[in-house]
Amino acid sequence: MKHHLVLRACALLLAGTLAQAGTAVAQHSAPTDISHVYVFGDSLSDDGAGIAAINQLCHDDFLGRALCGTKRDSVRLGAGFYEGRYISDGPAAVDVMTHLLGQPPLRPAYRWSVPWLHLSLVGENYALAGAKAGPQLFFSLSDEIQAWADHRDGQPGDPLALHVILIGANDLIAAIKDPNDLTSVPTAIGQIQQAINTLIGHGARRFLVYKFIDFAELPRYRQEPNAQVRTRATQMTQAFNAGIDALIVPPGVTLMRFDMAPLWNFVKQQSFVQKVDYKTACVQLVTELLNQIESSPERNVLKSASFLPGCDAQQLPNRLFFDDVHPSGYFHQLLGAASYDFVVESLTGQCAVHTWGDDSAAALPAAGVRGLMGSVYSFQNPAVAANEDFRLTGLDARSAYGSFPMNEQDSAFWQFTGTQPTTMCGTAFRTRMNEWDAKLKQGAAVAAGDVQPARRGDQFFVWNFYVGRVEYFEFLDPDNDGSYHFFPADGASDNRWWKRIR
């Protein structure tokens, strides 16, 4: 038995070393029967269609003068914008999710026609920066749906394909800006319902739609001095999310509603521990791009990111927001990972699993070790011929994680969940659990706007470095003030503030 344990420890050490080096120990396989992914939305999902369409419009003899001040030879996004086509410093959440689903990379797509100009790009991602769910002159949601239908040229939709609709931010911003605007949000919801109905009419049977985080949490409104504007931001978000809840589909159609609010609460806690800024923007917002193009003296317009004071390209990976409304590449990665978990769990009834180092759609050296706490990772260990599952429960200040621990033990990064699939999936974990280190310590007061005090009954996980394992507790709130003290460190007992669970 002693020799067996030694050999197993050596095998696990070797496996962990391979994982830390980024070697593909476990092969990524498709976790669902999803055949394709199609995306409809705005700049939160645009992976190049927007800037490509603007470039073509500005290059036209007539539209170039009308929209862009003069005919332009080219219009491009430059330094600071990922691959010169994303309104962020990394791929969008839909790209991350698609990558984790084992699908080919999404290609930008659009179709728009006037008598003298026909713009068409065949692909899977019809999202366009600036698009609204409600009607507008260029590239509304209905235009994106029509482009998808036209590209299918009468062929029926694929019932196994996933149709992602992530739109409504521009409608919400318009409603927040005008206190007399009573139509933007209900109109947006009506158009989303119509889009779903149209897609169903073409044979689509699977949909993923999104409910937003409270817009008052965005840097634009968090820093707004007018309290009434912040209140309206919250109210309009609630109205939009209620509309998403009210969407209907007929029997035989799957409509998955991803609620960003619980994820945002969890990501704030993860960011608080990692010293990642979740409050402020890093880059000057690219507002009214056509106006900026129109005022440019250049025939070849190159719009590069302009960093705000206190931020630069090196700081950006430790921010959750790119500009005052758009997520950073890091936040996109976390949202994409959570979306992947949610879709897999919704369609299969089983926990989604991740592979070490396969967390991002970006081929960047540091991207593969940045994960979302709560995710379950499956490790097929060839040295011991066993499948081992781990939950990511810790990250260091660089948002990175290390190799899997040896000997079926926990570590500061990982909780060993066993050799059988866990029953606590990533979505449920992040909805129920709180990160102990992100909350109050020793009863100290929390700063206004920071992670809020706990409530009686809240569940927490913590890396107990005294006994070397991850533990779970329920907060008892004995003083009725939301503040708490240190958890019982002996690995066995409860104390005045904490009840041991699981």
Mean pLDDT of each 10-residue bin along the chain, 502 residues long:
32 34 41 96 95 90 88 93 93 96 95 81 95 90 96 91 98 96 97 98 97 97 94 98 98 98 93 88 81 88 92 90 95 96 96 90 65 92 80 83 88 91 92 82 46 84 94 93 85 95 86
Residues in the chain: 502
> What contacts 358, CB < 8 A, 6 or more positions away?
24, 28, 100, 368
- State how far the Cα of 74 lies from the Cα of 366, in Å rounded to an integer: 32
Q: Which CATH number is 37-346 given?
A: 3.40.50.1110
Residue 502 amino acid letter? R
Q: Which residues in the chain are classed under CATH 3.40.50.1110?
A: 37-346
CATH match of 439-502 with 3.30.160.280: yes
Q: How far apart are CA 414 and CA 390, in angstroms?
A: 6
pTM: 0.91
Cβ contacts of 334 within 8 Å, gap of 6 or more: 263, 267, 270, 372
Q: What is the pLDDT of residue 159?
A: 96
- Domain(s) labelled CATH 3.30.160.280 in the chain stretch across 439-502
pLDDT of 367 reads 53
Contact 126, 199 (CB under 8 A): no
Structure confidence at residue 360 (pLDDT): 83
| pLDDT at residue 137 in the model | 81
- The 8-class DSSP code of residue 170 comes to H
Contacts of 259 (CB under 8 A, 6+ apart): 211, 241
Q: What is the pLDDT, as a whole number, of residue 437?
A: 82
pLDDT of residue 357: 86
